[in-house]
Each structure stands twice: as C-alpha cells, then as structure tokens.
Amino acid sequence: MRTVLISGAGIAGLSLAYWLTEYGFRPTVVERSPALRTGGQAIDIRGTAREVISRMGLMDTIRAHHTGTHGIAFLNEAGEHVARMGGDDFGDSGGIVAEIEILRGDLVRILHEALPSGVEFLFGDRIVAMTEHADGVDVTFAEAAPRTFDIVVGADGVRSGVRELMFEADVRDLGYYSAYFAARLDLDFDGWELMYSVPRRNVILYPVGDSGEVRAMFAFSGPVVPDARRDPKALLAREFDGVGWHVPGLIEQLWRAEDVYVDRFTEVRVEHWSNGRVVLLGDSAFGGSIGMGTSMAIVGAYVLAGELSENGHEHAFARYQNEMRDYVATNRKRPPGGTNGFLPRTRRGIWLRNQFMRLLTRLPGRKKMMGGMDKAASSITLKSYTRSVSPG
C-alpha cells in the first residue's frame, strides 16, 4: 500500500483522496485551515465531471443540494432586469448556465462525508520543506513531526505552497479581486442569480433556495493591494463605499460575516505538472479558468488516481498530464473581452455589455454560438482503471 500526502482539503484534494482509497492507497490530507473551508460561491459541475460524480455514487446527493437557480439576470442602476441568460436559451445543457450548480461548501462537505473513516487529516498545518530520495519524499511540516511519503500531491490552489517549493511556474495577474461571503436579503430572486454593476465593480448574488440566504460575490478591478487578504472586510467596504442598490446593507452584513474569502484572480501556467515524486492537481497546476475550475479538478483527480493505480509514479504522472493536456487547454480559453468584459470600466461599457447579453438570447444561432463551452467540458473520455496498486 503506497502512502500519498495531499496538500489541500478542497475539491481537488478530497476528490483525489476518494479515488486513492478506492484503489488501495493510504492518503493523508494536510490543510492549512483549522477545519474544512465550507464557505465560498456557487460552483458548476459540467460535462465529464458529471460522469466522475456518477461513478462516485454522489450524483443524487449533489442534485439534492442544487442551488435552484436557472440563470443569471443583469440589472440596471435601478435594480431592474435588463437582460437574462437562462439554460433554456442555449440548449439542453444550458451553455454558460450549468446543469448542476452547488455551493462550494456543500460540495466540500459531501466529498468529505464520502471518504472512509481511515483517511488521515492534518488540519492547521502545512508543508514547509520536502526532500526526495530513492524511497520516497521526506516532508517537514510547520507543526507535525517530519514524515516520509511515497508521493506528494499539491492540490493547494493557485497560491500552492507545494508548487512554490518544487516547480517553476508562470502566475499571471488578471487584474481583479473577487470575494465571497454569506448574507441574507429580503428580495424575490425568482430563481435568478443577479448581477449589479458599476464601473470596475460587480456584485453577484446567488440565492440559496427560497430561504432569503444568499452568497454575495464582490469583484473589482484595479492594481494589487498590499496585504489585501489580511483585512478583507475593510478592503471591500472601502472599494464598494457609495455603491447603491442593496450594497450598503450587504456591507453591514459583511462586517458580521464569519467566513470572508478574498483573493486576486490569477492564471497559473506550469509546463510540467510533476517533479520526481511530487505532482500538482487542480488550480495549483492549471488555475484561472472561467467556470471550469471545479470540473477540471474533479476530472483530474479521477485521472491521476487511476493512472497511479496502474503505473509507477513516473509513468503515472506522465500519462496523467498527457490525458489531461488537451482537455485543460480547451477549457482555459477565456471569453472575449477578458477582465474588461466582466468588469467594464465605464457606465457606457456596462450598458453595452447588458445590451449585448439581451440581444444574444434572441439570435437565431445562439445555441450553436454558446455550445462551445459544453463541448469543451465534455472533451475528455474517461478510461476505466483497474483497482489494484502497482508497486512503485
């Protein structure tokens, strides 16, 4: 039985732990946070990732936690709907609107509960050094005693500590911050996510059923703010000061929120996803996609664990990247307009964006035009792997 250390208890890390235990490995998960991070935004499960979820036997559970939304509505300054994009506008699978949308925290809990009790977790800790030798990787932790593992996996996000220790990477700044927190709002969403924009700033609200609970996403473009993550509440309150609609009330709730996530949006490029006995998974290797990060992490975990079940680590890592390369490249393509399309810099830019979205739903060829995302999300064919661990 081979031992695997997974850095990161997010979607990528938990999915990998599930599949590794299926194939007879013994995974240990180290997580910097003191417990599972169950906050965050609504996320999509698309294309081939749905097949992986089905193979895990979790589809019914995940569907039961669907957010209940059926599209996104763009608002004007008065808070009125001026454009809507729903699943019915773009074909059976919904184009930019995923068939399955779930709160990140719900998915994390579901994946964690699916793991056998024997999976070891080291919360409130992190890897600070690694030394590889013929028999494994000696790992030094910030808190726990040093240990040796056969394989180490960096599933610790765009700011991966594992990547920083072992890999050369090109981390590209995309020019904006995004933040998420839970709130409540007495507003009839009627199943729509809502986007309210002012120059350089967006507020997107995801309703959680009909309870009045929402997940608020605040995004804003601009230069890097030193120590932005140290005091995210003050940063958001400053950036959104004077913004109308329901934003003042949301800012009041922000100050009382227990879990506020804020980060700079970046794109990660790593030429080789493995180095010896260490390999990267999910955002640590290919972060920065629009709407496909979760799905790529789920598919990547399935492929990596499957290849390790049939091959020694050198061949497994090479086959993992070869299987995933085209799928990742296809799903990392950014939509036209980039950051300026998402966060227009002027009121006229916002108006033009909203008018384009309104007209797009009426074009005769809209389903074909928006079908590319669904095609890309299903652009990998899953192999069936044996459930035996090769020596290695």
Q: Decide if pLDDT at 105 tops 60.
A: yes
pLDDT of residue 143: 97
What per-residue confidence (pLDDT) applies to 391? 44
Q: How many domains does the chain have?
A: 1
* Res 164 pLDDT > 90: yes
pLDDT tops 70 at residue 367: no
Q: What is the pLDDT of residue 229?
A: 80
- 239 in any annotated domain: no
Is residue 389 pLDDT above 60, yes or no? no
The arithmetic mean of pLDDT across residues 96-120, rounded, is: 87
Lowest mean pLDDT among 11-15, 77-81, 323-327: 77-81
* 20 phi/psi in degrees, rounded to 5: -65, -40
Higher-pLDDT residue of 90, 33: 33
d(CA 379, CA 392): 30
Q: pLDDT per residue over 14-55, tens digit each? A: 999 999 999 999 999 999 999 998 877 888 899 999 999 999
Task: Tell whether 248 is covered by a domain.
Answer: no
If pLDDT is split at 50, 70 and 90, which confidence band does 190 have? confident
CA 67 to chain centre: 16
Indicate whether 371 belongs to any domain. Answer: no
Residue 379 lies in a domain: no
For residue 213, the model assigns a pLDDT of 87
Confidence at residue 288, expressed as pLDDT on a 0 to 100 scale: 85
- Residue 188 clears pLDDT 70, i.e. is over it: yes
Q: In this structure, is residue 253 part of a structural domain? A: no
Angle at the Cα of 135 (from 131 to 138), degrees rounded to 5? 30
Ranking 85-99, 145-159, 246-260, 275-289 by mean pLDDT, the lowest is 85-99
Mean pLDDT of 291-299: 93
Instruction: Answer whether residue 17 is part of any domain.
Output: yes
Q: What is the pTM of this model?
A: 0.91
Instruction: Let me know if residue 207 belongs to a domain.
Output: no
CATH number at residue 14: 3.50.50.60
Question: What confidence category does residue 13 fall into, taking pLDDT thresholds of 50, 70 and 90?
Answer: very high
64 in a structural domain? yes
Is a pLDDT exceeding 90 seen at residue 189?
no
Instruction: Residue 289: give the domain boundaries.
Output: 3-68+102-171+266-334
Per-residue model confidence (pLDDT) at position 91: 45
Give the confidence band of 89 by pLDDT, cuts at 50, 70, 90.
low
Q: Is pLDDT at 256 greater than 70 in this prediction?
A: yes
Lowest mean pLDDT among 142-146, 217-221, 303-307, 372-376: 372-376
Average pLDDT over residues 305-323: 96
- How sure is the predictor about 387, in pLDDT bands with cuts at 50, 70 and 90? low
Average pLDDT over residues 194-223: 91
Structure tokens at 225: 């703010």
pLDDT digit string, tens, across residues 118-156: 899 999 999 999 999 999 999 999 999 999 999 999 999
Q: pLDDT tier at 92 (50, 70, 90 boundaries)?
A: very low
Closest C-alpha among 208, 2, 247 to residue 106: 208
Residue 364 has pLDDT above 70, yes or no: no
Over pLDDT 90: what percentage of the chain? 66
* The pair of three-digit structure tokens given for residue 100, joined into one six-digit string: 């399955």
